[in-house]
């Protein structure tokens, strides 16, 4: 179902926590992406951010209780008409009420009447998040099909720090977009250990300059976030990115192709699947200057390059039985061969199970929220994705990986 004018209709429920102000950024992301957003704050949330702010940012009236516009039956209609419900911040109190099915305010009624995907983005102190009552409530909500994101770790109110911080707005938004594409929230990767690489490596020329590429890491981070939402134990090896780390994901930062190779091969030793979404440099300078190379009137000395080690080939060479390996190929059309034909040749040469092929360029794929790709399988399968969000491609990649695991091997 879609909201008014065909735009996906999103209910943004705001809980009564200090992180309520961060929901304004999430609202902006939804609104600028063409979603029809209706904000439903709790009474406590309005003590942190006032009703005029939500109305101005959403462009819709803000309802706070079941007695407003009674003739429209908002306590039923809002939930029935929603394509997605997102609760951010989801406080311990709010999740406890949701787990018990309480309907003492408008947001509680919406949660009971909604038949669309529901996302809870928790925010609370560490002790509250780790309390057995909260853990039981989270388990109950997940068992009923709701997506409860893992909170981020970091500075909380006062001097406290630890898990319980509201996930970054961009991460919540990515999870929401993925659910609009793939409504099922089944934790079908639970019990699996996966490794994802992301970003673009940099090969130093001197202490200042490097050889690099345009990769932002968006696709790799979307893959890591999707795997974590689906229950996997995720290690993300990321090169030179500035994207917030998805909650529940273990980050291993690297810079060069050699560092990427060491980190990925090490993590892959216990992994059920490895997805090489990083753009790893093919070449590096033979020599690295110890000091900055100065600009002079003379012509610069030629830059001699050598090949870097191929990480995907090394992964295939050391693969464990049952391990699924996924490569990425960023291609541009050649005079005699198209992008998909180039991908088929690379799939055969590398020996991986799946290869995700993108046509790239200065205005395509790199550092863009959307992508257009085809997933090629060594067994002859072919799955198209896009044009559409990178989160949607991430879900299709994990669906394809899941199909290659024996059901009994967990």
Structure-derived torsion over alpha carbons of residues 237, 239, 241, 247, reported in degrees to the nearest 10: 10
Catalytic entry in 109, 137, 213, 240:
213
Helix (H, G, I), strand (E, B) or coil at 138: helix
Q: Say whether 358 is catalytic.
A: no
- Phi/psi for 142 (5° steps) reads -65, -40
Q: How far apart are the C-alpha atoms of 185 and 144, rounded to whole Å?
A: 10
The b-or-e profile of 170-200 (16+ CB within 10 A means b, else e) is: bbbbbbbbbbbbbeebeeebeebbbbbbbbb
Token pair listed for 331: 């291609």
What is the rounded CA–CA span in Å between residue 392 and residue 204?
34
Contact 62, 158 (CB under 8 A): no
Is residue 260 classed as helix, strand or coil in its secondary structure?
helix
Q: Is 352 exposed, middle or buried (0-12, 13-18, 19+ CB in 10 A)?
A: buried
Yes or no: say if 45 and 117 are a contact pair by the CB < 8 Å rule: no
Pairing relation of β-strands 273-276 and 9-14? unpaired
How far is it, in rounded angstroms, from Cα 168 to Cα 317? 38
Q: Could you give the dihedral angle defined by the CA atoms of residues 394, 328, 362 and 201, in that order, rounded to the nearest 10 degrees?
A: 100
Task: Give the residue numbers marked as catalytic.
Answer: 213
């Amino acid at each position: 179902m879609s909201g008014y004018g065909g735009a996906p209709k999103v209910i943004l429920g705001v809980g009564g926590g200090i992180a309520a102000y961060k929901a304004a950024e999430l609202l902006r992301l939804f609104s600028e992406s063409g979603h029809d957003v209706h904000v439903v704050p709790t009474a406590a949330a309005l003590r942190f951010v006032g009703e005029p702010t939500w109305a101005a940012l959403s462009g819709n009236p803000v309802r706070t209780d079941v007695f407003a516009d009674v003739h429209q039956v908002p306590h039923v209609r809002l939930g029935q008409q929603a394509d997605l419900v997102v609760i951010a911040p989801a406080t311990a109190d709010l999740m406890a009420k949701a787990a018990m099915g309480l309907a003492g305010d408008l947001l509680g009624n919406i949660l009971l009447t909604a038949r669309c995907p529901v996302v809870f983005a928790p925010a609370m102190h560490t002790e509250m998040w780790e309390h057995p009552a909260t853990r039981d409530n989270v388990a109950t909500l997940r068992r009923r099909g709701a997506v409860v994101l893992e909170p981020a770790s970091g500075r909380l109110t006062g001097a406290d720090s630890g898990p319980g911080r509201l996930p970054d707005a961009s991460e919540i938004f990515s999870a929401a977009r993925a659910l609009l594409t793939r409504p099922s929230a089944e934790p079908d990767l639970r019990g699996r250990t996966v490794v994802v690489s992301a970003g673009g490596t940099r090969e130093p020329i001197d202490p200042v300059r490097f050889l690099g590429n345009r990769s932002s890491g968006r696709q790799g981070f979307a893959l890591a976030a999707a795997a974590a939402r689906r229950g996997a134990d995720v290690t993300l090896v990321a090169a030179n990115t500035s994207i917030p780390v998805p909650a529940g994901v273990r980050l291993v930062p690297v810079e060069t192709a050699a560092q990427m190779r060491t980190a990925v091969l090490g993590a892959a030793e216990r992994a059920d699947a490895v997805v090489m979404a990083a753009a790893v440099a093919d070449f590096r300078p033979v020599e690295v200057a110890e000091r900055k190379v100065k600009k002079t009137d003379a012509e610069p000395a030629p830059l001699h390059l050598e090949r870097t080690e191929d990480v995907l080939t090394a992964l295939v060479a050391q693969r464990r039985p049952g391990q699924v390996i996924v490569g990425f190929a960023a291609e541009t059309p050649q005079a005699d061969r198209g992008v998909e034909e180039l991908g088929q040749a690379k799939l055969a040469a590398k020996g991986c199970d799946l290869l995700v092929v993108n046509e790239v360029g200065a205005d395509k794929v790199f550092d863009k929220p959307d992508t257009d790709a085809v997933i090629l399988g060594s067994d002859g399968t072919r799955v198209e994705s896009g044009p559409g969000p990178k989160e949607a491609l991430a879900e299709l990649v994990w669906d394809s990986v899941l199909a290659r695991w024996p059901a009994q091997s967990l």
